[in-house]
Amino acid sequence: MRLVLHGHPRPQRFDQKTFLQGLRAVLPAQVETGERPPLLETPTDEPVRHAARIGATRVLDPFRPPHHRVVCSNTEHALERDILSGVRAPTGRPPPEGELYDAAQLSAVARDLLPVEERRLDIIHLVLTDRLIGTYQRSDGRYHARVILAGTPHLLSTAGLVEAPARSRGYYAALAQGPAGPGRGALESALMDEQLVHGDPRIPHMMVGYALMAYFWQVHGEAFCSDPHCRLYNAHWQRELIQAQSGGLCDHHATMLHHHDAP
């Protein structure tokens, strides 16, 4: 079994060394790990087409079911070219102030960048991105931000760690006060113990748990755990996320991890 980490596109905002050290510390010894440059930002022979493909995965309306767009607007194309060239970074925030990408469609773009001979079950591809990804849920008719989309490759969104799990009800109540309230920055500083913020130094450690979810999904066919103290717990609130990622695996998944059977 081999694990390939396709690095974070903005290393100044994500301590990849800490992340990889944490991941290697918990993976079975026989899992070989390696690093590569960021996958989505890797130069291609067709940079204009590549930027257009990524731009077409942007969600224009979070309340509309997903549909495949062949082309994107000139504005989207220009923004993606700037992101890919490093001129700017994604906002990492949801619409209307930011941008959201359809996780399945973005994963398909990433998959096409992998060598065909490496699209195998015995190679785990982890793609770190600071783009905010989401999936559409028909149950309530809208997109929801996600941290992870499992597959080949696995997408891991650092922006999703901040935006996908809900913050405390008190945070939203205070934010709803508008100009009369304390403001987003002051709220985030006051509530640091119970939520993450963009650029948070805790993010690399928290992301190790989601990399483990990708590992368990590919090796054992299950990614999540119902135990709120297990690192595989699918947290829906920021406080749940911080609690789950502050410990280790539950006994059941720790046993599974150390009885590694590669496909």
**DSSP strand E in the chain: where?**
2-6, 32-36, 101-102, 123-129, 133-137, 142-146, 148-149, 154-157
* 73, two tokens: 């607007």
Domain chopping of the chain, boundaries: 2-39+110-257
Confidence of residue 181 (pLDDT cuts 50, 70, 90): low
CA-based nearest residue to 57, from 72, 78, 43: 72
Omega before residue 153 within 30° of 0, cis: yes
CA-based nearest residue to 214, from 261, 148, 143, 117: 148
Output the pLDDT for position 216. Answer: 97
Domain 2-39+110-257 in CATH 3.30.310: no
Could you give the percent of the chain with pLDDT greater than 90?
Answer: 76
Output the pLDDT for position 262. Answer: 45
Output the pLDDT for position 178. Answer: 72
